[in-house]
Each structure stands twice: as structure tokens, then as C-alpha cells.
Amino acid sequence: MPDTRARSLSPALERVHLGWDLLIIVLVIANLTLLLFDSLFLLSPLNAAFEAVAPGLHGTYDRYIHARFVTIDLIFVAVFVLDVLLGWAVAIAERRYHRWFFYPFVHWYDVLGCIPVGGFRLLRILRVISLLQRLHRLGLIDVRRWYLSGVVAKYYDILLEELTDRIAIRMLDNVQAQVRSSDSLSTRLVEQVVRPRQQALIHEISQRLEAMAGTAYAHNRDDTLRYVRGLVGRTLAESPEMRRMERLPLGGQLARGLEASLSDLACRLVNEALEGLQSPEFSALVEHLAESGFDAWLRTDPHTELVSEQVLVDMLELLKEQIAVKHWRHKYQ
């Protein structure tokens, strides 16, 4: 039967779908129970024990069920085939899939479960899971509240984390091997990754430097000028020439006037210099300095290759250690 319902289904038709789904669930459970019981019936010790405990029931089962097991199973199969065909027809009518023949591939477990041979019968248990999911989506049951569902979700989460961690670590091992075997990794990184974006990176670096310097000065202008005035005052106070000047007539006033003039001059120079950070000349200077430093940074030699390789290998090793941490232990402890 289909996995999703058309929104335009009437309540009566919806009840028919629901009733059919419940019937299929009951039949699948009954069929699987019969398969399990008959498999155990074939085991000589269990067969003998069953006959000793309930000889009448043993004889009845042997004559009417075990002897006709294939026929009984084919009756179940006929119902399951009908369910597949009805679900296929409904999927075509609702145009649920891109092509009409997609249904048996999407519901492969339903199709294979209809084969009355060996292990294919065990695939019928997937029909129960599929039908339970269908009822959950309809809001008739809430499998998330089931204890078994919580247990399955827990161990599925653990299995998935362990599996993905091992795959990721294996991939990182391969990357480390590739890095170690490469003779020109740094050169290739520079030429194929960095060099084509050199101008854009230089422009970005210069813009960030200008913005950082301009913003820092705008926010700390008063503190900066106060520091400059204090620095000029301390320098003049420690100067022997200024101390000799203060001993002259009117030397104190002259020294204070000189200190004030020099402080204003220093503050004006600092203010002009820092406000000039927004000028085109400073932008050109920063870009030139960044370009010169960039070229020096991009130069490679055997030592650079070795250092780059070791850095990459160590980074990948740290990633492997982080991935190897079993987070599920903290989650489910």
C-alpha cells in the first residue's frame, strides 16, 4: 500500500485504507510467526519436546499445517501480491512517482517479500516496519514513545557514529599519506590556490588594516592624545636643558609655554597621521606593503615544503583525535 495519502481522500476512503493497512499488519505478523514456528518445528529436539508436552496439538499441527505449509504460505503471498498491486495502482493514479514503473523499485522489500523462497520470506518483516511508519505519519500511533523504538534509535545512533567515525578516520589517513608522498605540496598550493587570488587577498588585507586602524583610533582618540601629551610632558621634565631653563628668570613660564606648544604639535601630528589612514595615498602604501609581504610569504623552499607538510599532517592528526572521541558515551551514560 502507498506510503503517503492524497490530501483529497474522503474520510470513508481513508478508513478503508487504514483498515487494509491494519489487516496487512496482522497478516504479516501471523505469517512471520508461522514461519518462525515451522522452522523451529523442523528441529528434532524441539519437535520431540513439543510432541511430549502436547501430543494432540503436535499431531494436529503436523497434519493440517506443517504438511500444507507451502499452500498456506502461498495464500499469504497471494494477499501480499494483491497489496503490492493495489499500492502500485494507487501510486499510478495519484502520480506519486516520476514514472509509473518506479513503485516496485521504491518498495523493493514488498516485492521480494512476496517470493516464497528461503530468506526472501524474512523481508516481510520490513513490511511491518513500513506499515508502522505509515500509521505513525497518520498520527494513529506514536512509535517514538515505545521502549523498543528508543532502544533501536539509541543503538542505531551509536552504530551510525562509529561507522561514520571510522570512515572519516580512514579518509584522513589517506589524505595524510597523500600529503607525505607529495614532493611539491606547498608550491602547488601557492600556484593553484593562492596565486590566482593574490590581488583579491591583498586588497582584502589592506582594507582590513585600514578599517582596523581607523576604527581603533576613532574609538580611542581622547586616550591616544592624552597619552601623547603625557609622553611629551615626561620627556621635557626629564630633560636637563629644561631644568636649567626653569632656573632662569621667567624660565618656568617659558618652559610651561614650550611644553604646551610641543604637546599641541605632537597631538596635531598624531591626529593628522591617524586621520590620514583613510587617504588614497595611505591605501596605496598599505597595498604596496601587503604585496611585498605577500610575495615574501609565498616564496617556497625545501624547508618550507617540510614545514607545510608537517603542519598539515599534524592538523589532520588532531582532526582524527577529535573524530575518534566517542560522543555517544557522554550522550547515553
CA angle 162, 171, 161 (to 5 degrees): 15
What is the structure's pLDDT at 142?
A: 78
What is the structure's pLDDT at 78?
A: 92
What is the structure's pLDDT at 2?
A: 42
Place of cell 514461519: 35
Alpha-carbon separation of residue 229 from 264, 268, 273 (angstroms): 8, 11, 16
Handedness of CA 272, 277, 280, 284 (dihedral sign): positive
What is the structure's pLDDT at 217?
A: 65
pLDDT in tens, the chain (333 residues): 444 444 455 667 777 777 887 888 888 889 889 988 988 998 999 989 988 999 899 899 989 898 998 899 899 999 989 988 988 998 888 788 888 888 888 888 888 888 887 677 777 787 777 777 777 776 777 777 888 778 888 888 888 888 898 898 888 888 888 777 776 666 777 777 777 877 787 777 777 776 776 676 667 777 777 787 787 777 777 777 766 666 666 666 777 777 778 778 887 777 776 666 666 666 677 677 767 766 666 666 677 677 777 888 888 888 888 888 887 777 776
What phi and psi values does residue 119 have, to the nearest 5 degrees?
-65, -20
What CA–CA distance (Å, rounded) separates 24 from 77? 11
Residue 110 CB: number of other CB atoms within 10 A?
Answer: 23
What CA–CA distance (Å, rounded) separates 144 from 148? 9
What is the structure's pLDDT at 216?
A: 66
Residue 12 CB: number of other CB atoms within 10 A?
Answer: 7
User: What b-and-e string marks burial along 61-97, b requiring 16 or more CB atoms within 10 Å of the CB?
Assistant: beeeebeeeeebbeebbeebeebbeebbebbeeeebe
What is the structure's pLDDT at 306?
A: 75
Task: Decide: 10 and 103 in contact? Cβ < 8 Å.
Answer: no
> What cell numbers appear for 216 in the block?
581603533
What CA–CA distance (Å, rounded) separates 15 from 21? 10
Residue 274 CB: number of other CB atoms within 10 A?
Answer: 19
CA angle 116, 118, 124 (to 5 degrees): 60
What is the structure's pLDDT at 85?
A: 92
Q: Which of 323, 304, 12 has its CA nearest to residue 184?
A: 304
What is the model's pTM? 0.48
> What cell numbers appear for 20 in the block?
487494509
What is the structure's pLDDT at 7?
A: 45
The alpha carbon of 271 is separated from its chain's Cα centroid by a whole number of angstroms, namely 49
Task: Decide: 197 and 294 in contact? Cβ < 8 Å.
Answer: no
What is the structure's pLDDT at 5?
A: 43
What is the structure's pLDDT at 75?
A: 92
What CA–CA distance (Å, rounded) separates 231 from 224? 11
What CA–CA distance (Å, rounded) separates 255 from 251? 6
